[in-house]
């Protein structure tokens, strides 16, 4: 029997599709447009913020909205759990065991999420970090403009070999991992709070040196001014290149500007680089689809969202909507990795019925998150409950890519994420493979074959192993959407 839903101070729809990698979770921030408008039920009233009240709030949300009601554990005693998240984890454990909910349902901070989803506001060094077990070093996958790390000369491809709070207590990454595993690296880097300072021993083209970097607040630019949107010309043909870091509202005008430039230059072949993009606002994903739909009609479906049967009235369909900046793509090469998830996958999947073999996925398989969350707020406690509430799909299917999109795209092409070159550089392996596809060249190894070690010629062929993105045990809002962010 379903327990009555406790009082909710504020209920906010986010309808966001967000990533979850490793021990992290998916979440998204308030104020976004989306397919559902949720009304507070029952009428909000004053509640306390004790642990039991917060746990009851979480349970009430799951009881009413969880997409997989038959996969919620019964008889879980909230008194046996010392935190709200531990209680949530126990409730959704059956769905998690079935690979349906990989830490996608969780409790988070309203204020923190709102700051990130409005402007990309976060605190830290401003880098994406991965761990390379072969060299036992931390590798910078990406560095953000106007953030401390890039200002200190740390950029993509830089390797961190030791971490400390001073030069006197530097510990090598190899020693940290040997003692504590990769979680020791995130612990050594310290909390994501302004003012936290670390000494990093780094190696790059300039040699090896120690740098001191202090974490600070910064706004993440969704499309980099350095390489995020440009036209690449080769062999007398022009290709559009677009790298979107995350689906937040400040990305919308940047996407429009990028596509207007492509349209004005007659671009029809485009590379869309989503390799580290863990998702975000569904409204931004829908805009992205519209910008790729100049040759689509308003009767053609881009995406669908489907709730549990008791909430079927909330189901929604997004049809292509004409935009003044839209292009009519002939071919698209999407670049993805295991960090490509949720809203990123929605865009890729949404275009598949219309482009077929004129579209490819380059790099590695995507994460596999064909589900999304709504957000319900207990405002007086700064609690935002993220609950998996709907599945997503394209014009043909719904919610059927939990194992990633590579198996859906028959002409996918395996390629390494080559941190030896900047993003947007045609020498970088994944971008090189993407342009080769657009130019009509055959791919030698499919993603599925690369993962099993079998090439198209039944020979053992592998691309370089995808690095492990580092994620803290308790990720902040930005880190849920941007695995590896510090």
pLDDT of residue 27 exceeding 50: no
The whole-number average pLDDT for the span 264-278 is: 97
Distance CA 233, CA 215 (A): 38
pLDDT of residue 23 exceeding 90: no
Distance CA 21, CA 19 (A): 6
The DSSP code for 398 is: B
The DSSP code for 79 is: G
pLDDT of residue 153: 96
pLDDT of residue 431 exceeding 70: yes
Closest CA to 390 of 66, 90, 123, 106: 66
Distance CA 291, CA 280 (A): 17
Please check whether residue 66 is in contact with residue 92, taking contact to mean a CB–CB distance below 8 angstroms.
Answer: yes
Closest CA to 428 of 144, 232, 247, 136: 232
How would you classify residue 203: left for phi > 0, otherwise alpha for psi between -120 and 50, otherwise beta? beta
pLDDT of residue 451: 63
Q: What's the CATH class of domain 122-219?
A: mainly beta
Please check whether residue 235 is in contact with residue 160, taking contact to mean a CB–CB distance below 8 angstroms.
Answer: no
- Fold classification of 229-369+392-467 is 2-enoyl-CoA Hydratase; Chain A, domain 1 (3.90.226)
Q: What percentage of residues in the chain have a pLDDT greater than 90?
A: 75
CA atoms within 13 A on the CB side of 407: 9
The whole-number average pLDDT for the span 4-22 is: 31
Closest CA to 461 of 475, 478, 448, 480: 448
Q: 444 falls in which pLDDT band (50, 70, 90)?
A: confident
Q: 303 falls in which pLDDT band (50, 70, 90)?
A: very high
What burial class does residue 397 get, using C-beta atoms within 10 Å of its C-beta: 0-12 exposed, 13-18 middle, 19+ buried?
Answer: middle
Do 122-219 and 229-369+392-467 agree at the fold level? no
pLDDT of residue 472: 84
Weakest-pLDDT range from 289-303, 307-321, 395-409: 395-409
The whole-number average pLDDT for the span 297-322 is: 96
**In Å, what is the CA distance from 43 to each residue of 9, 58, 64, 381?**
8, 17, 15, 17
pLDDT of residue 42 exceeding 80: no
The DSSP code for 456 is: T
Please check whether residue 30 is in contact with residue 117, taking contact to mean a CB–CB distance below 8 angstroms.
Answer: yes
Is the link from the previous residue into 42 a cis peptide, with omega within 30 of 0?
yes
Distance CA 271, CA 286 (A): 18
**In Å, what is the CA distance from 349 to each residue of 155, 323, 359?**
31, 20, 11
The whole-number average pLDDT for the span 183-197 is: 93
What torsion do the CA atoms of 162, 277, 325, 430 make, to the nearest 10 degrees? 70
Weakest-pLDDT range from 70-84, 116-130, 166-180, 452-466: 452-466
Q: 385 falls in which pLDDT band (50, 70, 90)?
A: very high
pLDDT of residue 473: 79
pLDDT of residue 285 exceeding 80: yes
Distance CA 420, CA 443 (A): 22
pLDDT of residue 397 exceeding 60: yes
Closest CA to 164 of 201, 123, 192: 201
The whole-number average pLDDT for the span 112-130 is: 80
Domain map of the chain by residue range?
A: 10-119, 122-219, 229-369+392-467
Q: What is the DSSP string of 414-477?
A: E----TTS-TT-TTSHHHHHHHHHHTTPPPSS-HHHHHHT--TTSS---PPPPPEEP--SS--H
Q: What is the DSSP string of 132-148?
A: ETTTTEEEEEEE-TTSH
- CA dihedral for 400, 404, 407, 410, sign (positive or negative): positive
Q: What is the DSSP string of 82-101?
A: SSHHHHHHHHTHHHHHTTS-
| Residue with the two structure tokens 């839209």 | 326
Q: 20 falls in which pLDDT band (50, 70, 90)?
A: very low
Please check whether residue 469 is in contact with residue 108, taking contact to mean a CB–CB distance below 8 angstroms.
Answer: no
Distance CA 384, CA 248 (A): 18
Q: 40 falls in which pLDDT band (50, 70, 90)?
A: very low
What burial class does residue 128 get, using C-beta atoms within 10 Å of its C-beta: 0-12 exposed, 13-18 middle, 19+ buried?
Answer: buried
Q: 449 falls in which pLDDT band (50, 70, 90)?
A: confident
Maximum distance among all Cα pairs of the chain, rounded to whole angstroms: 68
Weakest-pLDDT range from 225-239, 258-272, 314-328, 444-458: 444-458
Q: State both tokens at 124.
A: 């830290």
């Amino acid at each position: 029997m379903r327990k009555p839903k406790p009082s909710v101070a504020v209920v906010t729809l986010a309808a966001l599709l967000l990533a979850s990698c490793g021990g992290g979770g998916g979440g998204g921030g308030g104020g976004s447009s989306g397919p559902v408008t949720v009304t507070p039920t029952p009428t909000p009233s004053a509640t306390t913020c004790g642990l039991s009240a917060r746990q009851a709030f979480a349970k009430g949300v799951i009881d009413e909205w969880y997409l997989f009601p038959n996969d919620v554990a019964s008889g879980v005693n909230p008194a046996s759990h010392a935190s709200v998240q531990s209680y949530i984890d126990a409730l959704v454990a059956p769905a998690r065991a079935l690979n349906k909910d990989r830490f996608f349902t969780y409790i988070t901070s309203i204020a923190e999420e709102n700051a990130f989803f409005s402007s990309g506001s976060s605190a830290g060094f401003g880098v994406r970090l991965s761990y390379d077990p072969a060299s036992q070093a931390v590798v910078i996958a990406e560095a953000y403009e106007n953030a401390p790390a890039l200002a200190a000369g740390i950029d993509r491809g830089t390797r961190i070999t030791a971490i400390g709070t001073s030069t006197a207590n530097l510990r090598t990454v190899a020693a940290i991992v040997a003692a504590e595993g990769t979680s020791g690296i995130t612990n050594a880097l310290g909390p994501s709070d302004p003012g936290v300072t670390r000494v990093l021993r780094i190696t790059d083209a300039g040699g090896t040196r120690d740098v001191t970097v202090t974490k600070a607040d910064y706004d993440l630019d969704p499309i980099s001014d350095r390489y995020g949107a440009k036209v690449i010309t080769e062999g007398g043909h022009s290709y559009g290149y677009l790298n979107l870091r995350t689906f937040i509202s400040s990305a919308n005008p940047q996407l429009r500007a990028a596509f207007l430039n492509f349209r004005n230059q007659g671009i029809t072949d485009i590379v869309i680089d989503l390799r580290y993009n863990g998702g975000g606002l569904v409204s931004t994903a829908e805009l992205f689809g519209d910008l790729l739909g100049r040759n689509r009609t308003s009767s053609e479906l881009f995406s669908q969202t489907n709730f549990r049967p008791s909430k079927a009235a909330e189901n929604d369909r997004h049809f292509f909507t004409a935009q003044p900046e839209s292009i009519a793509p002939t071919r698209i090469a999407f670049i993805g990795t295991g960090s490509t998830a949720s809203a990123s996958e929605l865009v890729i999947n949404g275009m598949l019925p219309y482009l077929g073999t004129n579209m490819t996925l380059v790099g590695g398989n995507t994460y596999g998150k064909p589900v999304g969350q709504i957000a319900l707020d207990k405002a007086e406690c700064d609690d935002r409950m993220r609950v998996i509430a709907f599945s997503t799909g394209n014009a043909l299917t719904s919610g059927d890519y939990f194992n990633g999109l590579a198996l859906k795209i028959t002409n996918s092409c395996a390629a390494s994420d080559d941190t030896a070159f900047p993003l947007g550089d045609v020498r970088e392996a994944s971008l090189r493979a993407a342009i080769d596809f657009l130019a009509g060249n055959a791919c030698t190894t499919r993603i599925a074959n690369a993962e099993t070690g079998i090439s198209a010629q039944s020979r053992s062929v592998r691309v370089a192993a995808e690095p492990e993105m580092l994620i803290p045990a308790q990720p902040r809002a930005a880190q849920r959407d941007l695995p590896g962010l510090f």
